[in-house]
Structure 1
Amino acid sequence: MDDYPLLNLFWTMMWFFLWIMWLFLLFRIISDIFTSDDLGGWGKAGWTVLVLILPFLGVFIYLIARGKSMTMRQVQRAQQQEEAFQDYVRKTAATSSEPSVADQLEKFAGLKASGAISDEEYEKAKAKLLT
């Protein structure tokens, strides 16, 4: 293998990326353990100890035992975040405290057309809005 330094580089990169993927998986599982609502304190402690003491075996057992519910919890969290974001956008968009100039002009034109204000009052209001 020493005759092929490029191949050595390839293998080193492959092992490095596999190690990084392993760390991502391990952190994802640990975060799922702590954010899981259906596990009690002892269950969380047991899974954490298993995953940290016997990492390969613990991760594989966790994925087999709780992999499907792990995905469902992630989807549920994403939906809750999306709903919270949409609710925030609706609240923010609905709370425009001041009507626009066009809306106010339309209101004054309606009052003028109904006879509630005179032409002179309409022109004063319009001049005041436009300045």
Structure 2
Amino acid sequence: MNFWASFWDIIWWFILVFAFVSYLYALFAVIGDLFRDSKLGGGWKALWIIFLIFVPFLTVLVYLIARGGSMAERYAAQAQAAKASTDAYIQQVAGASPTDEIAKAKDLLTSGAITTEEFEALKAKALR
């Protein structure tokens, strides 16, 4: 057996594996985008899925050409919504803002529950 023939067979095998994995990634990206798109009706989604089952490679190419730009927009919108949700959760868990903390301390000072020194300490802590 010739060394170079087996070498090129190995290279060809890697190219085929790369192409197959790339196709699977694109296929799952298309399926995920189909279900993420709230503007696309159920009938159109079913039609895309049917075409993906019977003519998968061509359908993925057509989908990427026809709807590829809006895929990025939907993904960005989903990422922005996830970030906003995470930020809201962190804000909720982290507690009040420094302004709120100082206002609460001022109310305690006004009611006489704390001294001026304690108020200044709370204010300094809130501003850190």
CA distance in 2, matches of 1:30, 1:43: 13
Number of equivalent positions: 103
Counterpart in the other structure of 2:32:
31
**Paired AA for residue 35 in structure 2:** F
CA distance in 2, matches of 1:112, 1:36: 57
CA RMSD, aligned part only? 2.6
Counterpart in the other structure of 1:11:
12
Identify unmatched segments of 5+ residues in structure 1: 96-102, 115-131
**Paired AA for residue 10 in structure 1:** I
Is 1:111 equivalent to 2:115 in the alignment?
A: yes
Q: Percent identity?
A: 32
CA distance in 1, matches of 2:68, 2:116: 68
CA distance in 2, matches of 1:71, 1:113: 55
**Paired AA for residue 55 in structure 1:** P
The one of the two structures with greater contact order (alpha-carbon pairs below 8 A, sep at least 6) is 2
Q: Tell me if the contact between 2:52 and 2:59 (Cα under 8 Å) persists in the aligned partners.
A: yes
Q: 1:112 to 1:43 in 2, by over 3 A?
A: closer
Q: What TM-score, normalized to structure 2?
A: 0.70
Q: 1:52 to 1:6 in 2, by over 3 A?
A: same
What is the CA distance between 1:7 and its match in structure 2?
A: 2.1
Counterpart in the other structure of 1:65:
66
Q: Give a deviation string over 1:4-63, Cα, whole Å, max 9, x none.
A: 222221211121111011101101101111121011110100011112211121111111
Following TM superposition, the consecutive aligned residue runs of length 4 or more in structure 1 with deviations greater than 6 angstroms are: none
Identify unmatched segments of 5+ residues in structure 2: 97-104, 119-128
Counterpart in the other structure of 1:87:
88
Q: What TM-score, normalized to structure 1?
A: 0.69
Is 1:41 equivalent to 2:48 in the alignment?
A: no
5-14 or 36-45, which deviates more: 5-14
